[in-house]
A = this chain, B = another copy of it.
Amino acid sequence: MDRIVECVPNISEGRDIDKIERIVSVIEQGEGVKLLSYEPDADYNRTVITFVGTPEGVVEAGKRLLKAAYEEIDMRNHKGEHPRMGAVDVFPFVPVKGVTMDDCVALARKLGRWAGEELKIPVYYYEYAATTPERKNLATIRSGEYEGLQEKLKDPRWKPDEGPAEFVPTFGAVVIGARDFLIAYNVNIDSQDVKYSKTIAETIRESGVLIKSKGGKKIFGADGRPVRIPGRLKYVKAMGVTLDKYNITQVSMNLTNFHVTPPHIAFEAVKLEAEKLGVHVKGSEIVGLVPLEALVLAGKFYSLKEDREPPEDPDELLKIAIDKLGLSVLEEFVPEKKVIEYMIE
């Protein structure tokens, strides 16, 4: 495929495996789309589905998925720990290869229009597809959740972007949008004491660390927000965690815009901060999937770091990235299972 879009819809069913399989099975019932994974979570009562395909392929698959969920899921009985608003709760389009964010916004709007017209369900657009600044943030749109939706739909400020402003009790509402690729990326710290990973996480994550009062309270500044010392890296969420299985700890990160902060910069930042604390980095791991581009950038960076001209072959660059980031230190990094482009080929 020359052009690849990833979709990561979440459906509000995480317990009834038969039902989940019936819904998920519709995704590949068409051209130009490939199901990559689905992960039911019983506590959340929610399933994260990942599929990729051509721009046309993913929109058609999206229609099939929305229709199947509309028919199979009844939100009137839904309970679960994760916030949700509808049977298909959130449906992001993510550019992977040969498509722009604007393309993905157009795809989101195409699917949304269809859902409003054909299924007659309320549709909200979020992130890059949002129609107002207030609707950019998913949590804001979803506040009040399914239970508050009937009231919310009466508020003119919350008129849906598509579909009637009428409550559909069995479905609720769907939030469709376009966002950047999210890379779940963990850097290993060669210490069993998690305090180092926690300090490093606080230093590098964008949100930094709250300054607390002696009595342990948040301190509010002139802007009404809690006072914090920000962290070093933009578009990075991070926390320190213990990984009992390997007797190490990790700085566990979400990189929400790898064009601004790619894995190799996160890795180098963790390494720098670890050295200050007298501990060492011992490789890293990518959880879930990664676009080839992110590791090609790393391969180029590490070639230049050793004063060498980067090779042009993406396979070569990938090998350098795997080596220098230590991606096979804990478990072997198999490109066919991790790199989106390799999975589709």
Q: Which residues of A contact B (CB under 8 A)?
A: 199, 203, 208-209, 211, 213-215, 217, 219-222, 227, 229-234, 259, 265, 268-269, 272, 276-277, 297, 300-301, 304-307
A211 to B221 CA separation, bound complex (whole angstroms): 34
- Contacting residue for A276 out of B217, B220, B277, B307, CB 8 A: B277
Chain B residue at minimal CB-CB distance from A297: B222
Chain B residue at minimal CB-CB distance from A215: B307
Given A227-B301, A276-B277, answer yes or no on A213-B265 (Cβ-Cβ < 8 Å).
Answer: no
A–B pairs, 8, beta carbons within 8 Å: A211-B268, A213-B307, A214-B305, A214-B307, A215-B307, A219-B304, A221-B297, A229-B269
A269 to B208 CA separation, bound complex (whole angstroms): 11
Among A208, A297, A301, the most chain B Cβ lie within 10 Å of the Cβ of A301
Determine whether the beta carbon of A229 is less than 8 Å from that of B272: yes
Given A227-B265, A227-B301, A265-B227, answer yes or no on A232-B208 (Cβ-Cβ < 8 Å).
Answer: yes
Q: Which 6 A-B pairs have the closest CB atoms?
A: A215-B307, A219-B304, A229-B269, A213-B307, A213-B305, A276-B276
What are the residues of chain B within 8 A of A304 when measuring CB–CB?
213, 217, 219-220
What are the residues of chain B within 8 A of A217 when measuring CB–CB?
304, 307
Among A214, A229, A265, A272, the most chain B Cβ lie within 10 Å of the Cβ of A229
Chain B residue at minimal CB-CB distance from A223: B259
What are the residues of chain B within 8 A of A229 when measuring CB–CB?
232-233, 265, 268-269, 272
A154 to B234 CA separation, bound complex (whole angstroms): 39
What are the residues of chain B within 8 A of A259 when measuring CB–CB?
222
What are the residues of chain B within 8 A of A213 when measuring CB–CB?
304-307
